[in-house]
Amino acid sequence: MLIRHRGGSAAGREAAQRIADEARRGGVRVVGIRAVPAVPSRREVHFLRGGDAAEGERLASRLRSRWGNDWHVRELEAGATSSKKLAAGPIPAHTLEVWLPHR
């Protein structure tokens, strides 16, 4: 799993660390936390392959039960950077991405 948060956001960075800790407790391998310039306006779990949808739902369910927030699960859009990597070569070390909207 890769966690992405808004660059320059202390709240986003802290939330990303809490998410990583919770995911690890649930047995999910966290490969990294990355600051990015743009994030969605809502909490999202993206899965990179259709077969990972159930895993994405399980993770979102765990996060919902832990914090009670609304989490949306969806397949990564075809034009997204990670999808291009999938089409160009081997599957990355992660198959789920968590996106955090914190400012």
Q: What is the pLDDT of residues 59-79, one digit of tens each?
A: 999 999 998 889 999 997 654
d(CA 49, CA 15): 25
pLDDT tens-place string over residues 12-58: 999 999 999 999 998 989 999 999 999 999 999 999 888 889 999 99
d(CA 9, CA 66): 22
Mean pLDDT of 84-90: 48
Q: Is 2 in a helix, a strand, or coil?
A: strand
d(CA 22, CA 43): 15
- pTM beyond 0.75: the answer is yes
pLDDT tens-place string over residues 1-13: 999 999 999 999 9
Listed residue (73, 71, 14) closest to 42, CA to CA: 71
pLDDT at residue 89, as a whole number:
54
Contact yes or no for 86/49 (Cβ under 8 A): yes
